[in-house]
Structure 1
């Protein structure tokens, strides 16, 4: 409790409340004399010793509830242990009707397994990549966690499972035992999430607001950046692009020569009587040709902006770039970059395609590309799609990605969402996945730079 109280005092200071060393000592003395068993008395003792100004009361109350809440979540039970072999076989048969992703979560609940640290970290990564102004509200944040886990879908699937087991002849008493155990395990998992949210918010509360280093910003999810941090990364793009451009130019210079040019070598040798013989090599074109389709909807806007900035800063090392931007329709934007500087072109493109809510239609966009721009693809072309694969339940048209892959040299998808989110909700990423040669992560600027390195520099081999 002393350690938690020290963290609480640090959080007060980080949130602008002035707390002296003497006041901290008074708080610990009050804890010793009054104890901590009575929560309201404990609250009053801390408030009277740590808070001097009435304006700080709301901050104190918010942080107190955050730091001093209930303890461990309810335990979870392995519901499979009490099943006979016949009952286990009936359960396995009933589970087969569900899609793999839902079935895996159902089996986890039935086994009584809590969320692992890795699963919680992946949830945090997804939420950081898709921030909401309501995230400071623990109840709203909990609902976002539950939605990401498809919690309601799992709950409904459990009800269907019990109905199927009844049809298969499992006795009523066992079904009711399973129903009670499932409900208990779901509540325990929900409470685990609630406590994880509290720990996450406690950590945020104790961290002083300061401008992070460039290295930290490179690793931070793009959707979690403040406007000031976005501006810092816009300037950093120039340095990163210059470094990439230098590396690519050096590699192209080293590997500029291709296969032996026999005709030129023999023709030159005839003039000199074959002594000495100088070898001539045919130059080979190593610079890539790129077609890029960028999702500029709300969730992808800054990611696509940085991707375009990097690509167009490397134009002297690329044979040609055909660039497109889309939300619910496709726009050819290469002419914008030919007429003006990169950042001005991006600003104009984003102004022309303002973001909306839930209006991405990737299937429609792929259809437009097939009808009007298929000529841009050939066996030297790298086709890049930058997007999260979320399509608002519109037709995916994954068949078109397959067709584009037959025409292009390679198809690469840059996606900021972690793989475990693919296929959830309105995500069509699993439909597109079989037709992509690579899917590269793009949640941070560091990952974007690595992706560009893999796409552009690899063509110099």
Structure 2
């Protein structure tokens, strides 16, 4: 119990609440006096001793249940098959056969009212970057990502189809409604379990957060887990990274100026030495790539694309030509913004013209815009870069256009913050990926910097 109280105090401090050593000691004294048997008295004892400013009360009320929850698992709706007759069970089994094995297993677990194990929750949290999150404002966002990683939207859609199939097979309407209600309760129970786990892990992360944030830790933190202050630190760090990359790329290009030996040029040069080949001539190779980059600047991708544009702006001297585009629900050329000398002003100009908000991302329509107006920017010397999560809100992905763009380019690199296990639902990434030369995961600044270095090396 003492360790949990210390974790709560550390999390409060990390959230901006001032808690002195004397107030911490008072908290332990109050708990010794009031005891922990009555949860409400325990809560009030900690609140009275640790919180001195009314504006900090909401932070305490958020954190307390995450460290000292009720201990009760979320209520599940039960197993709907307990009341089914053998004929109805057979009917249900037949209806389930139409679904793929993986989806069928998830549906059966949901119908049985099985909660997620601790190991499953830990694996989901690791997958979506929960272990790096230390801001309670991201609890709902992380919960949604974990549910998406379990293909929850697909399971909900499949359950609806299952109910329709059972109705067509002749199952009693009241029985179908009973099954639907119990499954819905089980779904809500799983979502609550995931949400509680996400909140508890974020609270623990807060309690372990060092007072002076290490920039290395921030570089490894997923973009969606960054606070506004974290983003400001990384925006300054990306300039240092870009400068180091620029030096490394320039040195790499200098060392690789010479290609294969040019026999004819070597013979011509030898004439002034009476035919002795004193100077070996090489064919020069073109090392500076031509880049066409298309960035998703919708809310979920905005910061990743902003950093990518910062890199490209800083590396202009290492490329022959850059054609840059941004999109949310339509495509805009932003190449003219790169003609100046101030990277911050250029990027902010782009983001100002395309403000974040609740948009319906439509990559397919943006590709159609590119096909109509900018297809001639692609040729055999072009590296095509897409920065986005491939989520298209179930709009037409226009694979025909993307395939044509990929064929016209020397190589096509897709930078995506989501791992392949997240490519389902409204994501068309599994359709775009086979048309790319490479797909690189860029969920944090370190991965993004490595990806930029890799594509420039190519």
Give the TM-score normalised by structure 2.
0.81
Partner of 1:361: 362
After superposing the two structures, state which structure 1 stretch, 140-149 or 240-249, moved more: 140-149
Partner of 2:30: 27
Gaps of 5+ in 1: 81-85
- 1:139-154 → structure 2 map (5 Å cutoff): 146=147, 149-151=150-152, 153-154=154-155
- Asked if the contact 1:30/1:45 (under 8 Å) is kept, the reply is no
Partner of 1:445: 445
Deviation at 1:454, TM superposition (A): 1.2
Partner of 2:327: 326
Partner of 1:433: 433
Partner of 1:83: none
- Asked if the contact 1:321/1:334 (under 8 Å) is kept, the reply is yes
Deviation at 1:360, TM superposition (A): 2.5
**SS of residue paired to 1:161:** helix
Instruction: Find the partner of 1:16 among 3, 8, 18.
Output: 18
Deviation at 1:87, TM superposition (A): 11
Q: 1:101 to 1:344 in 2, by over 3 A?
A: farther
Partner of 2:241: 240
- 1:197-208 → structure 2 map (5 Å cutoff): 197-204=198-205, 206=207
Partner of 1:269: 270
- Asked if the contact 2:129/2:222 (under 8 Å) is kept, the reply is no
- 1:7-406 → structure 2 map (5 Å cutoff): 7-12=7-12, 14=14, 15-18=17-20, 20=22, 22-30=25-33, 34=35, 36-44=36-44, 46=46, 50=49, 53=52, 55=54, 60-71=60-71, 73=73, 94-98=95-99, 102-103=103-104, 105-106=106-107, 109=110, 112=114, 114=116, 115-125=120-130, 135=138, 146=147, 149-151=150-152, 153-155=154-156, 157-158=158-159, 160-161=161-162, 164=165, 186=187, 189-204=190-205, 206=207, 210-406=211-407
Deviation at 1:54, TM superposition (A): 7.7
Deviation at 1:89, TM superposition (A): 9.7
After superposing the two structures, state which structure 1 stretch, 403-412 or 7-16, moved more: 7-16
Deviation at 1:448, TM superposition (A): 1.2
Gaps of 5+ in 2: 82-86
**SS of residue paired to 1:291:** strand
What RMSD over aligned residues (CA atoms) do the two structures have, in Å? 4.2
Q: 1:455 to 1:157 in 2, by over 3 A?
A: same
Q: 1:104 to 1:403 in 2, by over 3 A?
A: farther
- 1:406-421 → structure 2 map (5 Å cutoff): 406-421=407-422
After superposing the two structures, state which structure 1 stretch, 107-116 or 271-280, moved more: 107-116
CA offsets 1:334-379 (integer angstroms, 9 cap, x no match): 2221244322222222222223322332111111211221111112
Deviation at 1:211, TM superposition (A): 4.9
Deviation at 1:224, TM superposition (A): 3.6
Deviation at 1:153, TM superposition (A): 4.7
After superposing the two structures, state which structure 1 stretch, 367-376 or 18-27, moved more: 18-27
Q: 1:54 to 1:269 in 2, by over 3 A?
A: closer
After superposing the two structures, state which structure 1 stretch, 146-155 or 350-359, moved more: 146-155
Q: How many residue pairs align between the two structures?
A: 449
Q: 1:127 to 1:166 in 2, by over 3 A?
A: farther
**SS of residue paired to 1:299:** coil
- CA distance in 2 between counterparts of 1:9 and 1:124 reads 24
- CA distance in 2 between counterparts of 1:328 and 1:411 reads 22
- Asked if the contact 2:148/2:422 (under 8 Å) is kept, the reply is no
**SS of residue paired to 2:322:** strand
